[in-house]
Amino acid sequence: MGKVISIANQKGGVGKTTTAINLASCLAVAEKKTLIVDIDPQGNATSGLGRNKMNSKGVYHALISGNFYPDLIINTDLEYLYISPSSPELAGAEAELFSLENRERRLSIALSTIENNFEYIFIDCPPSLGFLTINALAASHSVLIPIQCEYYSLEGVTDLLKILDEVKKYLNPALEIEGILLTMYDERTNLSKQVVEEIRDVFKNKVYDTIIPRNVTIAEAPSFGKPVILYNIKSKGAQAYLNFAKEFLTK
Ligand SMILES: Nc1ncnc2c1ncn2[C@@H]1O[C@H](COP(=O)(O)OP(=O)(O)OP(=O)(O)O)[C@@H](O)[C@H]1O
Ligand SMILES: [Mg+2]
């Protein structure tokens, strides 16, 4: 059975999309058939994998129709990696969903038709806690939370945990925290070290051992439409995501 994992944190720019692209790519290289669902209207996972986010077909149509028709999923440069792209209509989807039946469960219903075609499905959430993120959480077995190693990084997480509790209570009792990934660690600063200590203190063994460093190659890769392992496998960033994928698979 496929495992569905939301990558969520309503704080912007913490490494959700970077983690979706790079974890999924590492798993695909290990021949795990993997799907990324780009439910963020910004479409960064779609463009970061070199696909056109202005195309007309994608996860928006799955949400509205309640079905993942085959043309809503496209291939990538990696044989085992697929994406259901973002598209311009997704920007209006929150408002449209509001008046639809099962508005919190549309994605869950659509995914149930294809869940078993993949080993892993990652949903790249937008930086908000609206209907798109709620749909993602309602459809997921677990949620992976990237946290940036910087001051204030814990602020949004409290609100996210509240939402997770609500989703568990009303929509998806089996939802778990998959793990917390520390991102953009800067080894030169004491602040990064302090934040790591603080987060480990609060979330204990939910925090992955692997820490993703701040690394310019990770930031450059999406502008070439590539995951970092295809852009420069020797970089520190690629090695970090490969290590993370190994840890992810053993946990
Ligand atoms: N480890 C890293 N080292 C350097 N830059 C990084 C790293 N991780 C992410 N970035 C860069 O930081 C920015 C934000 O990352 P990303 O888009 O993954 O965050 P996000 O949480 O998906 O953002 P949003 O909330 O807008 O969807 C991007 O420009 C990305 O390339
Ligand atoms: Mg993003």
Query: What pLDDT, in 10s, does the model give residues 84-114?
Result: 999 999 999 999 999 999 999 999 999 999 9
Q: What domains, with CATH codes, occur in the chain?
A: 3-250 (3.40.50.300)
Cα distance between residue 106 and residue 21, in whole Å: 24
What's the mean per-residue pLDDT of the chain?
95
Closest ligand (CA of 192): 1
Structure tokens at 245: 């994928």
214 lines ligand 1 (CB under 6 A): yes
Residue 171 — very low, low, confident or very high, per pLDDT cuts 50/70/90? very high
pLDDT for position 108: 97
CA 170 – ligand 1 centroid, Å: 31
CB 247 within 8 A of CB 208: yes
Whether the pLDDT of residue 251 is over 90: the answer is no
pLDDT for position 55: 84
- Residue 220 CA: nearest ligand 1 atom is 31
Residue % of the chain over a pLDDT of 70: 100
Average pLDDT over residues 194-217: 95
178 lines ligand 1 (CB under 6 A): no
Average pLDDT over residues 204-211: 97
22 lines ligand 1 (CB under 6 A): no
Task: Give the pLDDT confidence of 56-89 residue by residue, as tens digits.
Answer: 799 999 999 999 999 999 999 999 999 999 999 9
Whether the pLDDT of residue 181 is over 90: the answer is yes
Kindly state the DSSP code that residue 232 receives in the 8-state scheme: -
- Residue 219 CA: nearest ligand 1 atom is 31
Closest ligand (CA of 19): 1
pLDDT for position 156: 80
pLDDT for position 159: 87
Ligand 1, atom 20: closest residue by C-alpha? 13
Cα distance between residue 251 and residue 83, in whole Å: 24
- Residue 124 CA: nearest ligand 1 atom is 22
Q: List Cβ neighbours of 18 (8 Å cut-off, separation of 6 or more).
A: 48, 146, 183, 212, 218, 222
Complete edge-to-edge strand list for the sheet that includes strand 81-84: 74-75, 81-84, 34-38, 120-124, 3-7, 142-148, 176-185, 207-213
Nearest by Cα to 1 from 138, 134, 141: 141
pLDDT for position 101: 93
Ligand 1, atom 14: closest residue by C-alpha? 13
CA 227 – ligand 2 centroid, Å: 14
Cα distance between residue 79 and residue 34, in whole Å: 10
pLDDT for position 93: 95
**37-to-60, 114, 180, 203, 212 alpha-carbon distances in Å:** 10, 12, 20, 27, 22
Cα distance between residue 8 and residue 157, in whole Å: 10
Ligand 1, atom 10: closest residue by C-alpha? 219
182 lines ligand 1 (CB under 6 A): no
CA 91 – ligand 1 centroid, Å: 20
pLDDT for position 154: 84
pLDDT for position 133: 97
Task: Give the pLDDT confidence of 121-165 residue by residue, as tens digits.
Answer: 999 999 999 999 999 999 999 999 999 998 888 888 888 999 999
Whether the pLDDT of residue 210 is over 90: the answer is yes
16 lines ligand 1 (CB under 6 A): yes
pLDDT for position 78: 98
144 lines ligand 1 (CB under 6 A): no
Length of the chain: 251
pLDDT for position 128: 93
pTM: 0.97
Strands 74-75 and 81-84: antiparallel
7 lines ligand 1 (CB under 6 A): no
